[in-house]
Amino acid sequence: MLHPVVLSGGSGTRLWPLSRQNQPKQFLTLIGERSLYQETVLRASRLPGVQAPITVCSQLHRFMVGEQLQAVAMGNGGIVLEPVARNTAPAIALAAMQALRSDPDATLLVMPADHLIEDEAAFRDAVGRALSLAEQAWLVAFGITPDYAETGYGYIRQGDALGADGYRIDRFVEKPDLETAQEYLDAGGYAWNSGMFLFSAQGYLDELARHAPAIVGAVERAWGKASSDLDFIRIDETAFAASPSDSIDYAVMEKTDRAAVVPVSCGWSDIGSWSSLWSVAEHDADGNRQEGDVISVDTTGSLVKASERRLIATIGVEDLIIIDTPDATLVARKDRVQDVKLVVDRLKAAGRSEHLFHRKVYRPWGSYDSIGVGERFQVKRIVVKPGAALSLQKHRHRAEHWVVVSGTAEVTCGERVFDLNENESTFIPLGSVHRLRNRGTEPVELIEVQSGSYLGEDDIVRLEDVYGRS
Amino acid sequence: MLHPVVLSGGSGTRLWPLSRQNQPKQFLTLIGERSLYQETVLRASRLPGVQAPITVCSQLHRFMVGEQLQAVAMGNGGIVLEPVARNTAPAIALAAMQALRSDPDATLLVMPADHLIEDEAAFRDAVGRALSLAEQAWLVAFGITPDYAETGYGYIRQGDALGADGYRIDRFVEKPDLETAQEYLDAGGYAWNSGMFLFSAQGYLDELARHAPAIVGAVERAWGKASSDLDFIRIDETAFAASPSDSIDYAVMEKTDRAAVVPVSCGWSDIGSWSSLWSVAEHDADGNRQEGDVISVDTTGSLVKASERRLIATIGVEDLIIIDTPDATLVARKDRVQDVKLVVDRLKAAGRSEHLFHRKVYRPWGSYDSIGVGERFQVKRIVVKPGAALSLQKHRHRAEHWVVVSGTAEVTCGERVFDLNENESTFIPLGSVHRLRNRGTEPVELIEVQSGSYLGEDDIVRLEDVYGRS
């Protein structure tokens, strides 16, 4: 049976400031109404005879994966948490082991979580061809038929035809310079390496064992100590960290003699930069894409995105990328957006946090947003999901005032447990053991005013936590 | 005696989004540590034998004028409030009447509140020459010796020399096109019309009576019904509104045969646009001026201003003006900033408020900033100055929670009056008569959470107000 495997990797830097380390590109709603991750699992779910998707993600993103799956009412074939990043070869090995638990004949359709595919029918057709090759024990890479000389992708050179379904892979080639990319385009027989694959789970592990035995060894040891934690599959960190870090391309596809490519032209994009998002998004007649509250005068060829409660006005500019978020705004020339990584590097070097988190932070129980900060106080807007609860906790350096502005919260403070309704408030003295819970069916929203000498997130002693964080 | 007259006019659009209707350019700290208005009164105060300044301003700005004067510890020769704007000829007539109350021989030095003068010695020298001409009953305009072919100013053509001090005015000429401006520059004998003047108060009124009797008549009637209100001089609105709206140039200077010009080169700028601010501000080696939290990669010739708690990152851009405020950000090509008025026009047409107010609003008692808004709530950060008090008031549609985060507030709520210390909170039920007062010597800062079905600023019934607003 066919098991979609969604690889949720990536460091979240190329679409900064919208993407952050704890909320990378695949979880953002960039085009349409769902995230790229959601679109990826939904696209896979519409394939014939397909199983629930297996997701391999960083443990940093586990709650986001769980919620986004739930939000599109998707079944869950397992959310495997990588304790550390070890590139795609070990990640796919984990997914193979998960699929084989229930299905010894499992076939894997491996898809990065952050790609866009506009022509789903063409994609589905390519999956059909890849399946027929996989039945003949080929390890299939999906190759995107190039329509211009792109220098940002690796290429796959086709070899002999394998019937009408695809080709042997002659060789993989690194990202070319422009001249070479043009030669590939003119010559034909080259495809972009999309990072999507289809093969037998056992066949992949066998080839991995042959060409990269250290990876299989480490992943097997890590998997042997796997444990379930809520919806998540945790694997052993020490064992997994011992695996070499390598891509499936280097570790398997370039080495096996069973490598095939299925060419496809399906409106694919990896949305690897703001300029590539601009390219795939719809524009107005002036070549602009505007999201949110934007006023433009004589502006052309630009992507302008305003954040909530903020207006962006542009005058006389062209080919700009303007991305506004509550704590950071990027203004870049469209052909220079790859240098956003230089900005992220500077943030890292300065020990800052704008590349790690948004001002609004998602938690398994809901979210908080730091809307005001002063000398000895901080104001947070907190949303608690129906049925959710914050940990039972206390703080050493701060007291808190809570004002409920929507819904009914159940508050624990010391020995007391009581309901706090809309337009009611309470005080949590410094050092008091407390908890906030939403037993209702609507979100609880409250304003928290923290007061104290130290207001860092790390001033928290968790005594009990339903999400396994204590 | 010499009475400085500071004209605080202007609609606050050209430096949007930093300037707003209720906080125009003259009250902003654009260069250095004080506002242009404060620099103007301080510059005047350093002239020999000068009296306290008379300010003519919109009643909208009266508290700001009062505070900014107080902040630089300046005496006050009168703050005359214009109930409606009627251009400079009536405004200067008001100032003349105010000066004549205490000094029948008053000489006025008229200065717009929003100009920059870098060479104060040259300015002082020009005032000395103007004084000697005024003693001979000349009405003197200060003309700025042009150093390039500017098309944004009116010009004054010099006539016959009046000794070593200045010249008769041959004629005023409108803003020229570039070719004409270049001819003026090449020919010599032309000066920019700075909007600064010096003359006898009575002499001005006499000439105004001769050439624009309707203005003098209306202003005299309005002045006849003047009343003092705190530090302010209020005049009769109906009478003043009946005055023709005209500039001193048209109403007097172009018509009188006693018009003289004193040329001066004093590093003058009217900072009429963001590009002109960029020109007069210090730049780094790449021609950039950066204020606040800015990270720039390959950026040249740009003015980038980040607002509090926000980061602006720029990549590969040149000659941009980027002005960030809590609710609106402008990104404009430097040579197109005059079109900021088109943005303001669109805001007006849409009935919006981003051209009228900042998110943080100044009040006579302090300030408030709307830091969070939701379905049926709003969160404000409120600062009350030492000794200040909000009005005794009530609201028909909202209740309020107050959490003091700094200082000690005296709270009136219904019949109770009590102190609220740092880290204490209280609740003001819907409809309760309440007041907030700071009897201490440090500012009181508090977080207000409003809850209700309607949260507009106009839901306020003022029962008592120390600032005359009830």
Here the tokens at position B298 are 């390959």
Q: Is residue A334 part of a domain?
A: yes
Chain B nearest CA to A17, separation (Å): 9
Q: What is the DSSP track for B303-335?
A: EEEPPTT-EEEEES-BSEEEEE-SSEEEEEEGG
Give residue A9's pLDDT.
Answer: 84
Q: Which residue type occupies A325?
A: T
Describe the strand order of the beta sheet including A293-297 as a list of residue ranges. A293-297, A311-315, B328-333, B320-324, B303-305, B289-291
Query: In Å, what is the CA distance from A378 to each residue of A372, A420, B377, B404?
Result: 6, 21, 18, 12
Number of structural domains, chain A? 3
Considering the domain boundaries, does residue B215 fall inside one? yes
Out of A287, A320, A347, pick the residue that ends a domain.
A347
Instruction: Please give the span between the terminal C-alpha atoms of chain B, in angstroms, as a whole number.
Output: 39
DSSP string, B179-240: HHHHHHHHH--EEEEEEEEEEEHHHHHHHHHHH-HHHHHHHHHHHHT-EEETTEEE--HHHH
Enter the tokens of residue A388: 């959710």
Please check whether residue A354 lies inside any domain of the structure.
no
Same-domain status, A121 and A149: yes
Say if residue B148 is in the same domain as residue B221: yes
A454 C-beta neighbours (distance < 10 Å), count: 12
CB-CB neighbors (< 8 A) of B329 in chain A: 310-313, 324, 329
Contact: B339, A316; criterion CB under 8 Å: yes
What is the domain extent for residue A296? 274-347
Out of A269, A291, A322, a domain closes at A269
Contact yes or no for A376 and B406 at CB 8 A: yes
- Tokens (6 digits) for A433: 């053991």
**What are the pLDDT tens digits along chain B (470 aa)?**
999 999 998 777 899 999 999 999 999 999 889 999 999 999 999 999 999 999 999 999 998 999 999 999 878 899 999 999 999 999 999 999 999 999 999 999 999 999 999 999 999 999 999 999 999 999 999 999 999 999 989 999 999 999 999 999 999 999 999 999 999 999 999 999 999 999 999 999 999 999 999 999 999 999 999 998 777 999 999 999 999 999 999 999 999 999 999 999 999 999 999 999 999 999 999 999 999 999 999 999 999 999 999 999 999 999 999 999 999 999 999 999 999 999 999 999 999 999 999 999 989 899 999 999 998 999 999 999 999 999 999 999 999 999 999 999 999 999 999 999 999 999 999 999 999 999 999 999 999 999 999 999 999 999 999 888 77
Is the same domain home to B286 and B138? no
- Burial class of B269 by CB neighbour count within 10 A (0 to 12, 13 to 18, 19+): middle
Write the CATH number for A40.
3.90.550.10
**DSSP assignment letter at A205:** H
Strand partners, B260: B140, B168
- On whether residue B353 sits in a domain, the answer given is no
- Is any Cβ of chain A less than 8 angstroms from the Cβ of B399? yes
Inter-chain residue contact A313 with B401, CB threshold 8 Å: no
* Cα(B302)–Cα(B332) distance, integer angstroms: 10
Q: How far apart are CA A218 and CA A116, in angstroms?
A: 32
Give me the residues paired with residue B191 across strands: B156
Please check whether residue B295 touches A, CB under 8 A.
Answer: yes
Where is the domain boundary, B246, B269, B292?
A: B269
Which chain B residues are within 8 Å of A324, Cβ to Cβ?
Answer: 329
Q: Say yes or no: B112 and B209 in one domain.
A: yes
**A interface test, pick of B20, B304, B345, B377 with most A CB neighbours within 10 Å:** B377
Helices A88-102 and A201-211: crossing angle in degrees, nearest 10, is 140
Q: Is residue A154 exposed (0-12), middle (13-18) or buried (19+ Cβ within 10 Å)?
A: middle
Contact status of A341 with chain B (Cβ, < 8 Å) = no
Q: Same structural domain for residues B120 and B36? A: yes
Distance CA A462, CA A250 (A): 43
Answer whether residue A353 is part of any domain: no
B365 in the same domain as B309:
no
Contact flag A405-B333 (C-beta cutoff 8 Å):
no
Token pair of B277 as six digits: 């601010």
Kindly state whether A229 is in contact with chain B, defined as any CB-CB distance less than 8 angstroms: no
CA–CA dist B266, B21 (Å, integer): 29
How far is Cα A450 from Cα A457, in angstroms, rounded to an integer? 11
Mutate: best of B273, B320, B331, partner A, most A CBs <10 A: B331
CA distance A243 to A216: 8
Tokens of B424: 């204490």
- Cβ of B17 within 8 Å of Cβ of A313? The answer is yes
pLDDT digits (tens, 9 = 90+) for B56-81: 999 999 989 999 999 998 788 999 99
The answer to whether residue B157 sits within a structural domain is: yes
Distance CA(B423)–CA(B440), nearest Å, equals: 16
Cβ neighbours of A308 (radius 10 Å): 11
pLDDT for position A76: 87
* Whether residue B115 is found in the same domain as residue B15: yes
* Long-range pairs for A289-293: beta carbons < 8 A, 24 or more residues apart: A292/A324
In contact, A254 and A94? CB cutoff 8 Å: no
Q: Are residues B419 and B389 in the same domain?
A: yes
Answer yes or no: do A437 and A310 share one domain.
no
Give pLDDT tens digits along chain A (470 positions). Answer: 999 999 998 777 899 999 999 999 999 999 889 999 999 999 999 999 999 999 999 999 998 999 999 999 878 899 999 999 999 999 999 999 999 999 999 999 999 999 999 999 999 999 999 999 999 999 999 999 999 999 989 999 999 999 999 999 999 999 999 999 999 999 999 999 999 999 999 999 999 999 999 999 999 999 999 998 777 999 999 999 999 999 999 999 999 999 999 999 999 999 999 999 999 999 999 999 999 999 999 999 999 999 999 999 999 999 999 999 999 999 999 999 999 999 999 999 999 999 999 999 989 899 999 999 998 999 999 999 999 999 999 999 999 999 999 999 999 999 999 999 999 999 999 999 999 999 999 999 999 999 999 999 999 999 998 887 77
The verdict on residue B57 lying in a domain is yes
Orientation of helix A36-45 relative to helix A62-71, angle to 10°: 50
Q: What distance in Å separates the CA atoms of residue B4 and residue B46, rounded to the nearest whole number?
A: 11
Is the domain of B224 the same as that of B315?
A: no
DSSP β-bridge partners for residue A449: A379, A401
Whether B130 and B213 map to the same domain: the answer is yes
Same domain, B45 and B73: yes
- Given CB atoms, is B316 within the 8 Å cutoff of chain A? yes
DSSP assignment, residue B59?
G
B304: in domain:
yes
ipTM of predicted assembly, 2 dp: 0.92
